Structure 1
Amino acid sequence: MTLSGSVDGPCWHVSVQTAPAPGGFVCTVRVAHECASGAFEHEFEYLTRHTVEREALLAGLREGMMWIDHKMAHAFDF
């Protein structure tokens, strides 16, 4: 079984979907936000393994929200 979840803010969105992996579960994280220069979307694999699928989902959502926080603070630019 795979789990999915999402968190939305005023101009951003984070969604996560888990997948089974050897030794537990990993997840795919999708982030999107609107800014002055236009819409931005990015997808990445969060490969930290968790033995409990729910924990993988929550960790992926936290990682996505940290990614959005850094992106919106202009910590990196792409």
Structure 2
Amino acid sequence: MNIHKRTRLTLLDRQEIGRLYQSRLWKVTQLAECFRVSRPAIYAILKRARLPESAPRDSTNHRFKTLQYGLKRLAKVE
């Protein structure tokens, strides 16, 4: 599993946030205080929880893997 080294919420934390919010007993501000993240982060987690996306996200930047980026970099080196 490729998780960023400074991640604040693990997969289990995200699932717990989704479960607590769906129980309708917790508000977004309460979840943000409990898990020590911002409210926009909670909203993003809830948005992803509505989708069937349970796998952790990969933190690699795909721009660096493209051929166009490699050719531009090679031209700068030469």
Q: Radius of gyration: which is bigger?
A: 2
Same fold (TM over 0.5): no
Quick check: which one's strand share is greater? Answer: 1
Q: Which category of TM-score, normalised to the shorter sequence, fits these structures?
A: under 0.3
Quick check: which one's helix share is greater? Answer: 2
With structure 2 as the length reference, what TM-score do the two structures score? 0.28
With structure 1 as the length reference, what TM-score do the two structures score? 0.28
